[in-house]
Structure 1
């Protein structure tokens, strides 16, 4: 009797181990596919070289003009921003914006890419977890963005003689704490792609909101009070504020800890929302046979 009753549990444990191994292999395959797709189009590297310097340039040259002759406006900037390094202030804000924008684009556009390649339905028929198709872009995105950050530091050192006195540990913790919130938003975008069949509108909307409300080039204290209230509830505001403190003022972990904890809370919230939204819409799409539609 004891042998007979123990056999189902052994079989179940064996199947669980087999399923876990299969999921790990599928995850590795998705990562490898994304990497091959990236290296097959090496001209993407040109964008990583140009955009770190090109995008902030319009704000940087505007700031030189607004600073006035001999930097007369810098004391006022110091008063509202807490630093006179307006060049570093802009670079950190725009770099965080480009990183968050790219992550949201990659995750939100992952399923649309599957649709365009004609592989969405066939991949959805496999027993692989649906979320692996979304998070599989993560490691490749992390590698490419590391390259992007390196280019940013080198180029601004060469062209603007800008150096960062960063607390690298605090900066790393901030970026790691930001990932769950951004991925949660990305999952929500990806689920909307299934029904709306395109991701551009949603990414453009969030990108515009971040540019206006989160202070990528100016302190949020200069905005109207109601906009400041909205800004405090947006994860990119916390990311930019904590990243500036760590990159420009060598802020220790104790200083950025409040923003890090808030980011983790946002991450738990948005991951939950993203998971529930994606699961519900994906189930409806399968029942209605809408996965193959554009």
Structure 2
């Protein structure tokens, strides 16, 4: 087998919403060698769809992963999909990429999937999503961490359709308001779409119950902002990202799709960056 043949990557996406379709669009533009989207899992595969990857097969259930010879299953369908597809993904692919990290606030589910991954030799991969890269925080956690805080600031529009609308008047907001403060577990449970990313920072650092999360609605914010601060034996870290919202879904960031593209390309690249 040649080096190029060994670097093939056959992908199955679970979900084909705003994030997945953006990833597909970027992969089609960039055409990384060896990468092929061979399947897309959806709830109703019989429904006609446009803009699907050329040649991709539509599937409707986890049992259909058998025989597809996929290398990586990428979940981008929301928290319930992690439990539905997780075991099958870990049995039929070498990697299961979980974008809806809020599913891991369920300790029993996480324990089950870790046990399956251990048995099959597959891996659960949590991408950095809207945070871009958390290597520094993950490295710092090798020594004791004293504190980690993750502040998420978004325009009022991005909080519509969430519990924030019950807590503050998003339509008439005239100034920045911190409407939630709690642990990463609490934030992800209460705001699974908007604060899903808090689980990512928590898993990279000191865990779901020690990571403090603050949620903010700010009418002056033009982008989705993440501010992460950490302190511990390594020193002090301050990270700030201002992400453009995804054009088709303001609750998500363009960086969420870009981080998945980077993860996919690094899986086949001769130089990992």
Shared fold per TM-score greater than 0.5: no
**Bigger helix fraction:** 1
Higher relative contact order (CA 8 A, sep 6+): 1
Relative to its length, the structure with more strand (as a share) is: 2
Q: Normalised by the shorter chain, which TM-score bucket?
A: under 0.3
TM-score by length of 1: 0.26
